[in-house]
């Protein structure tokens, strides 16, 4: 039986592989899934462990140019790059050095990242649209020895390096038709440099060593360097593979999942869940450097994507954009949404365009937990919760006094498990605030957990609006606003109010060709909520600020418009 047939058979019989009694007497929620054994391996060792099973299958392909690499070639080029990093007199990477990567998604991205890790380096990723000052700040914090960029990012990289007064070599990953920027090293020469691989025997990285240094998105403050070890990452890979909780179909001689990779690899969601983990199970990744409706829809159909990872903006596009037709989604049988909550109405609009047997679910995670924390069971029709604690994971919900709450009570989510970060780089105070002495990570997210252990996200604690002593979740109002027939997207923040303390203010983006008034929108919401949740003001914008993972940046709205 091939992977797809097995997936459909498990769904048809309502397969559930989880325990029923997950709450302990002290209100700690255990994972309902069986514990998993965590291999004593580094990230590259884990990714390449089964490469012999799919060596000649496509690993990555560009959704625009069709430039591609098989698993055999991907491994060969990553090894070449790693050995060159260790032996080059100009580069001289040693165990524990940091290598920065600042470029859009491309088929060469995994070669750069896995090659750097195989060379013993720690990888820190830069947002390719960051400004010079943002890159400069991360250079100071992460202290990379080398930067890998692309023609569109080299200018900013060079300016930031100049500001730092450091001599940092720059490697350029480019398309065959692009010129090599001056004073940079050609990546293709390094990955094709067939040097003696025995030098890699000198790499002595252990599971407890750092391998990845992403910088958190900074939605509630300045970005912080998140220290993730090989063990953190490998644990999270294995946790995603639990029977009953996985969303991929095993690669066989008859089947290989085709997965869209448009969410940015610089972000932990794109890098860990979509890129690295799926390379570890032999999937085919269809890579796009950025989201453009025409190229996205063309790649979706031409490459017969069957597993689609989304964030809310992409899900909203699929559900509401007039150019998206049912036939674009004919091959898709699974859609996963993460990075931020999405409302029932937004999900409904998306599912209306999909085939009847589509499986949709939301999952939940944070950079600090490597990143996945919860998963929905195999074939579930629960579209609104983010599922259950991963294997080897515990959850609890606490009030502001750290009192443990019970089923269906709303409070802050705490997470404990082998995938919790080591800490924030050079920031012991922030680490102590985030991780308790007994290992619980404070997520900052407001949730409830039902009697069966299913988690529902309410909102970010720091973004709750305080109205007359009541707490108003912005996400609730945003979901209602997007139900308005004229509204494409919406955001809500709290603004000062002399009588109430704070009051909700809405920022809305109208659908193309649609018109409405602020009064109409306020009345639309008022009919559906209690008095204290009613919108006080409405402001119309052309677009809302979001980070590349799709997370709404309410703090930007506060800074700019409050």
Q: Do 144 and 60 belong together in one domain? A: yes
Q: What is the DSSP string of 198-241?
A: GGGGG----TTSEEE--B---TTSS--BEEEEHHHHHHHHHHTT
121 and 161 together in one domain: yes
> Beta-carbon neighbour count of residue 512 at 10 Å?
8
Domain boundary among 396, 420, 446: 446
- With pLDDT > 70 as the criterion, what percentage of the chain qualifies? 95
Confidence at residue 13, expressed as pLDDT on a 0 to 100 scale? 43
By the 8 A CB rule, do 140 and 116 touch? no
- Residue 57 domain-assigned (yes or no): yes
Q: Are residues 9 and 109 in the same domain?
A: yes
How far is residue 291's CA from residue 275's CA, in Å, rounded to a whole number? 17
pLDDT for the residue 319 = 93
Q: Are residues 422 and 498 in the same domain?
A: no
Question: Which H/E stretch holds residue 45?
Answer: helix 43-47
**How many CA atoms does the CB half-sphere of 10 hold within 13 Å?**
22
Domain containing 10 — which CATH number? 3.40.50.12780
Of 243-252, 432-441, 447-456, the poorest mean pLDDT is in: 243-252
What lies within 8 Å, CB to CB, of 253 at 6+ separation is none
500's tokens: 């109430």
Q: How many domains does the chain have?
A: 2
Q: Among residues 316, 321, 286, which one has the least CA distance to residue 304?
A: 286
Domain membership of residue 25 (yes or no) is no
Ramachandran quadrant class, 68 (left: phi over 0; alpha: psi -120 to 50; beta: rest): beta
Nearest CA to 384 out of 315, 337, 334, 321 is that of 337
Contact criterion met (CB below 8 Å) for 235 and 221: no
Q: Name the residue range of residue 499's domain.
A: 464-561
Mean pLDDT on 520-535: 91
Highest-confidence range of 4-18, 104-118, 310-324, by mean pLDDT? 104-118
Q: Does residue 454 fall inside a structural domain?
A: no
pLDDT of residue 58: 98
Residue 337 and residue 310 in contact, taking contact as beta carbons nearer than 8 Å = yes
The predicted model scores a pTM of 0.86
Instruction: Answer yes or no: do 95 and 176 share one domain.
Output: yes
Average pLDDT score over residue span 516-532: 92
pLDDT in tens, 203-246: 999 999 999 999 975 444 567 999 999 999 999 999 999 988 89
Q: 152 and 70, same structural domain? A: yes
Domain shared by 424 and 471, yes or no: no
Q: How far apart are CA 160 and CA 138, in angstroms?
A: 9
Angle at 316 between CA 548 and CA 560, to 5 degrees: 50
Alpha carbon distance 104, 286 (integer Å): 14
Domain-embedded: residue 28: no
Establish if 453 belongs to a structural domain. no
Q: What is the mean pLDDT of residues 134-152?
A: 95
Of the residues 389, 411, 446, the one at which a domain ends? 446
Residue in this structure with the two tokens 């069709």, named with its chain if needed? 66
Out of 411, 446, 481, pick the residue that ends a domain. 446
Task: Specify the DSSP element, H or E, that contains 492.
Answer: strand 487-497
With respect to residue 485, please indicate whether it lies within any of the assigned structural domains: yes
Residues 228 and 353 in one domain: yes
Tell me: do 392 and 488 sit in the same domain.
no
- For residue 14, name the pLDDT band (cuts at 50, 70, 90): very low
In a domain, 459, yes or no: no
Q: What CATH number is given to the structural domain containing 493?
A: 3.30.300.30
Would you state the pLDDT for residue 498? 79
> Domain check: are 515 and 400 in the same one?
no
* 16 confidence band (pLDDT: 50, 70, 90): very low
pLDDT confidence of 469, banded at 50, 70, 90? Answer: low
Question: Are residues 354 and 477 located together in one domain of the fold?
Answer: no
Which pLDDT belongs to residue 34? Answer: 92
Residue at 30 is within a domain: no
Say what the pLDDT of residue 6 is: 55
- In the numeric block, the tokens 């010129």 are attached to 179
The residue-averaged pLDDT of 25-50 equals 97
Task: Tell whether 312 and 397 lie within a shared domain.
Answer: yes
């Amino acid at each position: 039986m091939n992977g797809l047939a097995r997936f459909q058979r498990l769904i048809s019989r309502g397969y559930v592989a989880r325990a029923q009694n997950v709450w302990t007497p002290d209100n700690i929620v255990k994972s309902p899934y069986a514990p998993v054994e965590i291999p004593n391996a580094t990230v590259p060792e884990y990714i390449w462990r089964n490469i012999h099973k799919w060596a000649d299958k496509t690993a990555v392909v560009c959704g625009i140019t069709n430039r591609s690499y098989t698993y055999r070639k991907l491994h060969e080029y990553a090894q070449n790059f790693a050995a060159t990093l260790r032996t080059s007199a100009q580069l001289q990477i040693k165990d524990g050095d940091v290598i920065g990567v600042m470029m859009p998604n491309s088929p060469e991205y995994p070669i750069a990242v896995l090659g750097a890790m195989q060379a013993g380096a720690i990888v820190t990723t830069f947002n390719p649209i960051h400004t010079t000052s943002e890159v400069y700040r991360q250079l100071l914090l992460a202290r990379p020895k080398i930067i890998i960029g692309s023609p569109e990012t080299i200018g900013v990289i060079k300016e930031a390096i100049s500001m730092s007064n450091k001599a940092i070599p720059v490697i350029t990953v480019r398309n065959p038709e692009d010129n090599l920027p001056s004073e940079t090293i050609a990546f293709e020469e390094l990955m094709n440099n067939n040097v003696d691989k025995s030098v890699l025997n000198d790499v002595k990285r252990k599971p407890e060593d750092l391998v990845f240094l992403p910088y958190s998105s900074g939605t509630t403050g300045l970005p912080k360097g998140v220290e993730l070890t090989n063990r953190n990452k490998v644990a999270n890979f294995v946790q995603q593979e639990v029977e009953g909780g996985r969303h991929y179909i095993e690669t066989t001689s008859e089947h290989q999942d085709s997965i869209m990779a448009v969410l940015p690899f610089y972000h932990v969601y794109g890098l860990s869940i979509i890129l690295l983990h799926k390379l570890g199970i032999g999937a085919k990744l269809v890579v796009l450097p950025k989201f453009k409706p025409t190229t996205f829809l063309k790649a979706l159909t031409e490459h017969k994507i069957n597993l689609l990872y989304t964030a809310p903006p992409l899900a909203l596009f699929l559900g509401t954009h007039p150019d998206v037709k049912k036939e674009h989604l004919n091959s898709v049988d699974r859609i996963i949404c993460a990075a931020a909550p999405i409302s029932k109405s937004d999900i409904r609009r998306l599912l209306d365009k999909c085939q009847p047997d589509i499986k949709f679910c939301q999952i939940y995670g944070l950079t600090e937990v490597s990143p996945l924390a919860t998963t929905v069971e195999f074939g579930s029709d629960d579209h609104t919760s983010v599922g259950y604690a991963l294997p080897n994971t515990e959850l609890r919900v606490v009030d502001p006094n750290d009192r443990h709450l019970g089923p269906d009570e709303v409070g802050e989510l705490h997470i404990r498990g082998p995938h919790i970060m080591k800490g924030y780089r050079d920031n012991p105070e922030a680490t102590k605030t985030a991780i308790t002495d007994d290992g619980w990570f404070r997520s900052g997210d407001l949730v409830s957990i039902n009697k069966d252990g299913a988690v529902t996200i309410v909102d970010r604690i720091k973004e709750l609006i305080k109205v007359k002593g009541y707490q108003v979740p912005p996400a609730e109002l945003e979901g209602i606003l997007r139900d308005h027939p004229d509204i494409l997207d919406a955001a809500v923040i709290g603004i000062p109010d002399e009588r109430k303390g704070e009051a909700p203010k809405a920022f809305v983006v109208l659908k193309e060709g649609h018109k409405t008034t602020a009064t109409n929108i306020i009345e639309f919401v008022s009919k559906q909520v209690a008095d204290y949740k009613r919108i006080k003001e409405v402001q119309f914008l052309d677009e809302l600020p979001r980070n590349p993972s799709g997370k709404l940046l309410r703090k930007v709205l506060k800074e700019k418009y409050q």
